């Protein structure tokens, strides 16, 4: 059932967790404003993502849709399909590539099956705090990464929506050094980069889809996961976890993409408005994620999760040198991105 979605203000995690869950009946619509699009021509577009409605990706998507409506004066309107309604990340990406979907927010890690360039954003321990990430998201080299998607995948890359810095969580032991990871079966996103990272760190990385994690933790198929704090709370993984190490191995953004053909059919004015809206929503959600992480951390402590802060990641970083060598060799843009980010530190 469709519902009007208003512009999101700053929300605490507690408020978000009271929001409604995924809707079986379809997406939520951002309707044209009263008096907007006076000529009656409204371009209605379908936008999907796989995250829950309590997740930062959804917050960013709704903010983006509201800004697009405002900036285009109602000429462009979105129906948003969250919570895996139209499939998981890979399925959503493929639907956007083939034009079944108009636009989407897809975890950057999922792109590795199609192009290596977005692996740059998740090079281990490169971007390990939000202040640095704020600089990176606005950097020309990041726009260059997104721009490369048009030639390789037929997608117009607009921006990156942060979902939360990734950390190590498990139900077996405290993790303070790479040695503590030895043999731990950790769920990882289906990404060669992330799998290779945890391989060299000594863990036993197990790729699986997002929706399988809770039951796999519950049945001991896996010992833990690399994940952002807000997802542990929104998916109630704290019920089947005991330890969280604030390791910050990499950020976890979603790339906001349009089917290139769909984007090209829009007027230059609306294209500009959509790009501006994506950039503004990216800034907005990064600030919200900082607040949500604080709220999530309090919730995890209240739920009895043992929290360990990794104060020195040098031992972890040193071990991942071989990962840097392998992935910077895949595309000159990855090497360029790493070099530019290192200059920002």
In this structure, what token pair is assigned to residue 231?
Answer: 């997802």
Same domain, 69 and 138: yes
Q: Which of 44, 150, 28, 26 is nearest to 97 (CA)?
A: 150
> How many domains is the chain partitioned into structurally?
2
Instruction: Let me know if 14 is exposed, middle or buried by CB neighbors in 10 A (0-12, 13-18, 19+).
Output: exposed
- Check which CATH number belongs to the domain holding 183 and give it: 3.40.190.170
**In angstroms, rounded to a whole number, what is the distance separating the alpha carbons of residues 77 and 18?**
26
Same domain, 184 and 326: yes
Q: Please indicate, yes or no, if residue 317 is contained in any of the structural domains.
A: yes
Same domain, 229 and 106: no
Question: Is the separation of the CB atoms in 260 and 103 below 8 Å?
Answer: no
Question: Is the separation of the CB atoms in 281 and 183 below 8 Å?
Answer: no
Task: Report CA 223 to chain centroid distance, whole Å.
Answer: 23
> pLDDT, tens digit, for every residue of 247-291?
999 999 999 999 999 999 999 999 999 999 999 999 999 999 999
**In angstroms, rounded to a whole number, what is the distance separating the alpha carbons of residues 308 and 324?**
26
Q: Please indicate, yes or no, if residue 41 is contained in any of the structural domains.
A: yes
Q: Is the pLDDT reported for residue 3 higher than 80?
A: no
Same domain, 100 and 225: no
Q: Which of 171, 213, 164 is nearest to 188 (CA)?
A: 213
Q: Please indicate, yes or no, if residue 2 is contained in any of the structural domains.
A: no
Name the pairing type of β-strands 224-228 and 166-170: antiparallel
Same domain, 75 and 36: yes
**In angstroms, rounded to a whole number, what is the distance separating the alpha carbons of residues 276 and 64?**
9
Terminal-to-terminal C-alpha distance of the chain: 47
> pLDDT, tens digit, for every residue of 199-235?
999 999 999 988 899 999 999 999 999 999 999 998 9
pLDDT at 52: 87
Q: Please indicate, yes or no, if residue 37 is contained in any of the structural domains.
A: yes
Same domain, 124 and 104: yes
Q: Please indicate, yes or no, if residue 4 is contained in any of the structural domains.
A: no
Name residue, tokens 């697009």.
Answer: 68
The structure's pTM equals 0.86
Which one is predicted more confidently, 174 or 29? 174
> pLDDT, tens digit, for every residue of 113-137?
999 999 999 999 999 999 999 999 9
pLDDT at 190: 87
Same domain, 217 and 336: yes
In this structure, what token pair is assigned to residue 274?
Answer: 């959509």
Q: Please indicate, yes or no, if residue 53 is contained in any of the structural domains.
A: yes
Q: Please indicate, yes or no, if residue 147 is contained in any of the structural domains.
A: yes
Question: Is the separation of the CB atoms in 216 and 87 below 8 Å?
Answer: no
Question: Is the separation of the CB atoms in 308 and 243 below 8 Å?
Answer: yes
Q: Please indicate, yes or no, if residue 316 is contained in any of the structural domains.
A: yes
Same domain, 288 and 306: no
Strand partners, 224: 170, 186
Same domain, 105 and 231: no
3-state class of 8 per DSSP?
coil
> pLDDT, tens digit, for every residue of 53-62?
988 999 999 9
Same domain, 331 and 235: yes
For residues 167, 171, 175 and 179, what is the CA-based torsion angle, rounded to 10 degrees?
-120
Give the structural domain span for 222: 166-250+297-344
Q: Is the pLDDT reported for residue 30 higher than 80?
A: no
Same domain, 103 and 47: yes
Same domain, 209 and 333: yes
């Amino acid at each position: 059932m469709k519902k009007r979605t208003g512009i999101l203000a700053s929300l605490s995690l507690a408020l978000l967790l009271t929001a409604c869950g995924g809707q079986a009946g379809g997406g939520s619509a951002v309707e044209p404003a009263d008096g907007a699009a006076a000529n009656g021509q409204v371009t209605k577009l379908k936008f999907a993502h796989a995250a829950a409605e309590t997740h930062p990706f959804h917050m960013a998507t709704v903010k983006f849709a509201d800004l697009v409506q405002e900036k285009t004066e109602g000429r462009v309107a979105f129906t948003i399909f969250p919570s895996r309604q139209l499939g998981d990340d890979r399925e959503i990406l493929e639907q956007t590539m083939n034009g079944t979907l108009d636009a989407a927010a897809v975890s950057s890690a999922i792109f590795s099956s199609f192009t290596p360039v977005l692996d740059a954003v998740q090079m281990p321990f490169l971007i390990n705090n939000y202040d640095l990430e704020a600089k990176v998201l606005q950097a020309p080299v990041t726009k260059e990464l997104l721009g490369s998607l048009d030639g390789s995948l037929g997608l117009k890359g607009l921006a990156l929506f942060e979902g939360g810095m990734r950390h190590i969580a498990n139900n077996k032991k405290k993790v303070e050094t790479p040695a503590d990871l030895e043999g731990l079966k950790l769920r990882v996103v289906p990404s060669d980069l992330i799998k290779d990272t945890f391989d060299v760190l000594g863990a036993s990385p197990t790729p699986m889809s997002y929706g399988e994690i809770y039951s796999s933790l519950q049945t001991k198929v896996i010992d833990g996961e690399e994940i952002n704090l807000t997802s542990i709370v929104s998916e109630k993984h704290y019920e089947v976890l005991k330890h969280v190490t604030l390791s910050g191995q990499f950020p976890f953004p979603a790339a906001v993409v349009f089917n290139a053909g769909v984007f090209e059919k829009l007027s230059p004015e609306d294209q500009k408005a959509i790009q501006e809206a994506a950039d503004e929503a990216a800034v907005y959600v990064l600030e919200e994620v900082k607040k949500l992480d604080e709220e999530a951390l309090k919730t995890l402590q209240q739920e009895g999760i043992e929290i360990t802060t990794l104060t020195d990641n040098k031992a972890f970083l040193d071990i991942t040198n071989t990962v840097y060598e392998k992935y910077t060799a895949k595309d000159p843009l990855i090497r360029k991105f790493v070099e530019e980010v290192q200059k920002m530190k």
